[in-house]
Amino acid sequence: MQRLLKYCTISLFAWFASVFSASELAAQNITAAVSKNRVAVGEAFQVEFSISNGGADNFKPPANLRDFDIYSGPNEGSQVQIINGKMSQSSSVTYVIASRKEGKFTLGPASITTSAGKKESNSIIIEVVKGGNNTNGGNPSAGPNSSGNPANPSGGSYSNDDNLFARTSVNRTKVFLGEQITVVHKIYSRLNLRGFQDVKFPSYTGFWSQDAPQKGQITLSTENIDGVNYNVAELKRTFIFPQRSGTLEIEPLEVACIIRQKSKQQQNIFDQFFGTGGFEDIVVKTKTKPVKIEVLPLPEAGKPEDFSGAVGNFSFKATLSKNKVKTNEAINLSVSVSGSGNLKLIDALKVNIPADIEKYDPKVNDNVNVTSTGVSGTKSFEYVLIPRHAGSFKIDQINFSYFNSDKKSYVTLPSSEFNITVEKGKEEDNSSPAVMYNMEKKDVAMVGNDIRYIKTNNIQLKKKDGEFFGSAGFYEGLLSPLLLFAAFLFIRRKHLKDNSDHLLVRSRKANKMAKKRLELAEKHMKEDKRESFYEEVFRAVYGYLSDRLTIPFAELTKDGVSALLRSKNVSEETCQKLSDVLDNCEFARYAPSSISKDLSGTYTDAARVISQIEAQLS
């Protein structure tokens, strides 16, 4: 028994030694934080130096710490955690200090010596004001630093209290039209934060937006701003794509935070004894400031003719299901775009198909994923082709053009050409030639033996025409094929000319395409898919305006469209109704639950305004 006990003790000691040695080998770091970075002369505040993966035996405080009055410290603390058999050790060294004079001071870095060399902490700027003046902690009008805003060049909006404020941050404030922007809404708190209510997110007017998926309940993390540690809750992460150039604005975020604090009411003896009383929850509202985004128009230099507004980083592929078929057999042409960017706004690509092959409208498949890093995935278009005649045909290469915002240039990705061999099908092999049937001869009625009855009544006689050769009918028959052939060439040339102008073709088919999109919206309405319904109605109206007015989808603006329609004698009432429909759809796509109007009303308004515009433009 003693041997067993001795063996277990040695094994346990060896295990602890191996774990501690492993933690020694882990990378050590040191960070500095203060309880506040704006204080009064003589006001005490705390400085904490946190050391990860090690102890504080080789800790050296900042060299200029002696410039402050030290009320307490160094006070050392340590913590050991074992999670899933892995041990981690952290240490801390704290001081309580005060400044002797006013001004701005930089508290230099502390340092530790590790096996990898010397590691230093971050420096912290301390602003010291006159004694008796309110500091951040006592002045609700002061911000997280002297200017009211923590240093953050990528945007930020804050409340008035440095103990609780909100921030709307973006990864960039100057972008190209259609370029992806990451928007993050966070709450920063040094109080006992218990929850949120009445959260009002921006509507992102002028942007197409896609929310990143939420991972369960909101959790708190720690961030250091100007040397002060905050508990941070990320409320929402959204990816937005500007739909028009100019200066756009992200509206403020409004949220009511639930804070637990000590109650000012007197406790009864039972609450004091059991420790159940003494706290109450209060609601503190905070609001961000709007963030301005400068949206640059896409450059005209080098813009491909077939560019339709795709912005991001994409790859492109076109495949044919088979290249040898018989007449009236279907072929599938698949065109897919993959990558990251405004995938959902990419329209079907232009595909030139020989006249002897019938092409149907493509089936669109969206496989778009939204993660914490952005919007990516694949969008594909499936075309059904049916050759009607035998022969050899060629489908020209298909081009996909997009704007690469990182390289700030256009990229065109071509596919290969497709050659199709079409053989005669069974229907053509078994077809019967046309058969002409001769008219039957009628017997002549005979009177008597073989002489026809001589008519004795008054009869009208006509002079027999001369020979057909050289007559007017002869020349008419001779010239009519030439005239018909000339007319055929004229009509054919006009047809080719009209269809070569794809903008004119789009304009003619604008109303037809809008009806198809509205039919899909009606389907979503019957299935009560509100978000899909509003998105399809929006695409129907904007797609109609893009096709009818021959303006690229990416360059459409509500004000520009209204001005152009008025110049084309569209009534002011119709323009105003169009503006109302677009505002309703745009707002409903981002906050469908807040729309009280029924879906059928929106559908009716959209169909009516398209019909009115079509009638007034015709």
* Domain boundaries of the chain, sorted by first residue: 22-129, 164-296, 312-428, 504-617
CA angle 32, 36, 42 (to 5 degrees): 110
Class of 504-617 per CATH? mainly alpha
* CA 181 to centroid of chain Cα atoms: 9
Average pLDDT, the chain: 76
pLDDT surpasses 90 at 368: no
pLDDT for the residue numbered 12 = 54
The closest alpha carbon to 230, from 145, 120, 290, belongs to 145
pLDDT for the residue numbered 34 = 83
DSSP string, 520-570: HHHHHHHTT-HHHHHHHHHHHHHHHHHHHTT--GGG--HHHHHHHHHHTT-
pTM of the full structure: 0.49
pLDDT for the residue numbered 26 = 55
Give per-residue pLDDT as tens, 55-84. Answer: 767 788 888 887 888 877 777 777 766 665
For 81-99, b/e burial (b = at least 16 CB within 10 A) is eeeeeebebbbbbbbbbbb
pLDDT for the residue numbered 143 = 38
Who's near 111: CB < 8 A, 6+ residues apart? 30, 59, 60, 118, 119, 120, 121
Report the C-alpha gap between 163 and 144 in whole angstroms: 8
pLDDT for the residue numbered 593 = 56
pLDDT surpasses 80 at 93: yes
Report the C-alpha gap between 577 and 585 in whole angstroms: 12
pLDDT surpasses 60 at 429: no
pLDDT surpasses 50 at 43: yes
pLDDT surpasses 80 at 377: yes
Least confident of 11-20, 331-340, 413-422, 505-514: 11-20
Instruction: Judge if 22-129 and 164-296 fold alike in CATH terms.
Output: yes
Better pLDDT: 16 or 175: 175
pLDDT surpasses 80 at 193: yes
Give per-residue pLDDT as tens, 331-351. Answer: 999 999 999 988 888 888 888
* Average pLDDT of span 427-434: 45
Better pLDDT: 533 or 157: 533
**Per-residue tokens: 571:** 């009534």
In which band, very low, low, confident or very high, does the pLDDT at 38 lie, cut at 50, 70 and 90?
Answer: confident
pLDDT surpasses 70 at 548: yes
In which band, very low, low, confident or very high, does the pLDDT at 539 lie, cut at 50, 70 and 90?
Answer: confident
Q: Which helix (H) or strand (E) holds 488?
A: helix 472-500
pLDDT surpasses 80 at 589: no
* Cα 331 to Cα 323, 325, 382, 439, distances in angstroms: 8, 8, 10, 46
Report the C-alpha gap between 347 and 120 in whole angstroms: 54
pLDDT for the residue numbered 135 = 46
Least confident of 95-99, 198-202, 216-220, 312-316: 216-220
pLDDT for the residue numbered 238 = 92
* Average pLDDT of span 90-118: 83
Least confident of 24-38, 224-238, 441-455, 460-474: 441-455
Least confident of 26-35, 147-156, 267-276: 147-156
In which band, very low, low, confident or very high, does the pLDDT at 455 lie, cut at 50, 70 and 90?
Answer: low
* CA 405 to centroid of chain Cα atoms: 15
pLDDT surpasses 80 at 151: no
Is the preceding peptide bond at 150 cis, omega within 30 degrees of 0?
no
pLDDT surpasses 90 at 294: yes
**Per-residue tokens: 468:** 């057909």
pLDDT for the residue numbered 174 = 92
* Average pLDDT of span 360-375: 86
Give per-residue pLDDT as tens, 255-285. Answer: 888 888 877 665 555 555 555 556 777 888 8
pLDDT surpasses 50 at 609: yes
What values do phi and psi take at 356, rounded to 5? -80, 0
In which band, very low, low, confident or very high, does the pLDDT at 448 lie, cut at 50, 70 and 90?
Answer: very low
**Check: CATH 2.60.120.570 for 312-428?**
yes
The CATH number of the domain covering residues in 164-296: 2.60.40
pLDDT surpasses 70 at 153: no
Better pLDDT: 445 or 217: 217
End-to-end CA distance of the chain: 103
> What would be the CATH architecture of the domain defined by 22-129?
Sandwich (2.60)
**pLDDT > 70: percent of the chain:** 74
Tally of residues, the chain: 618
pLDDT for the residue numbered 433 = 39
How many Å is the Cα radius of gyration of the chain? 40
pLDDT for the residue numbered 297 = 92
